[in-house]
């Protein structure tokens, strides 16, 4: 997954949407004076992501869905990092035990 695109919301009397990527985090969208312009920009972002990555972005129609998707992705990323550190630590222990066995 490359991007999660949030719903069009009212922000400061204008219309905007946010997006989230693993690399950049939360990306606040430009505030458009007309709702049609905000939806047009959101659709353009979808098309750009599809073309650039060949993958389908996650599109959320509610703020709750957007928050849940971002939280789920961040949780998976944290678990992956923990597993990677754990594997690296186990590999270090095994190497240490092999060196100790050779020394004896």
Q: Does 91 have pLDDT greater than 70?
A: no
The pLDDT of residue 81 is 72
- Three-class SS state of 19: strand
The pLDDT of residue 16 is 97
Say which residues have a Cβ less than 8 Å from residue 98's Cβ, sequence separation at least 6: none
- What are 12-69's pLDDT values in tens digits? 999 999 999 988 899 999 999 999 999 999 999 999 999 998 989 999 999 999 999 9
Q: Where are the domains of the chain?
A: 4-103
Which pair of structure tokens corresponds to residue 30?
A: 């430009």
């Amino acid at each position: 997954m490359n991007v999660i695109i949030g719903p069009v919301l009212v922000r400061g009397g204008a219309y905007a949407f946010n997006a989230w990527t693993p690399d950049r985090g939360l990306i606040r969208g430009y505030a458009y004076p007309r709702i049609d312009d905000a939806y047009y920009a959101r659709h353009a972002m979808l098309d750009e992501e599809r073309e650039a990555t060949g993958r389908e972005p996650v599109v959320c129609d509610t703020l709750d869905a957007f928050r849940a998707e971002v939280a789920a992705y961040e949780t998976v990323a944290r678990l992956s990092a923990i597993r990677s550190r754990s594997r690296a630590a186990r590999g270090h222990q095994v190497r240490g035990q092999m060196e100790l066995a050779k020394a004896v």
